Amino acid sequence: MSDHCIFCRIVGGTIPATLVASNTHGIAFRDQHPQAPSHLVVIPRRHVASLADASDGAELGALLLLAAEVARSEGLSETGYRVVANTGDDAGQTVHHLHLHVLGGRVMHWPPG
């Protein structure tokens, strides 16, 4: 873990977050600046800078299963939801700790932007 990484500090409990679910590999919490009526963030417990740096298939699978779990718990499975992993600066990644955004509760448009 990195002392400078906000998501590592959330995992470590030194920064508060509204946790909604967890599993062995990750945690899910509400985004502080939601972009949809339901906006959750799923992160690995260990520091991985981005999807480009990920190498553990079990960890990635567990994060996706956690994203599906929180979407179900938010009631998004019936109407649909989006899972986004911004990777790198040009893609809009502002926190360099792998994270998945789970967005739903409104119609999503394509392309996203």
Instruction: Tell me whether residue 64 is exposed, middle or buried, using C-beta atoms within 10 angstroms of its C-beta: 0 to 12, 13 to 18, 19 or more.
Output: middle
Please count the other Cβ atoms lying within 10 Å of the Cβ belonging to residue 65.
Answer: 14
**Which of the residues 97, 99, 101, 109 is marked catalytic?**
99
Strands 19-22 and 26-30 come out as antiparallel
Question: Is 33 labeled as catalytic in the residue annotation?
Answer: no
CB proximity list for 55: less than 8 A, separation 6 or greater: none
Closest CA to 4 of 95, 105, 113: 95
Q: Which residues are catalytic?
A: 99
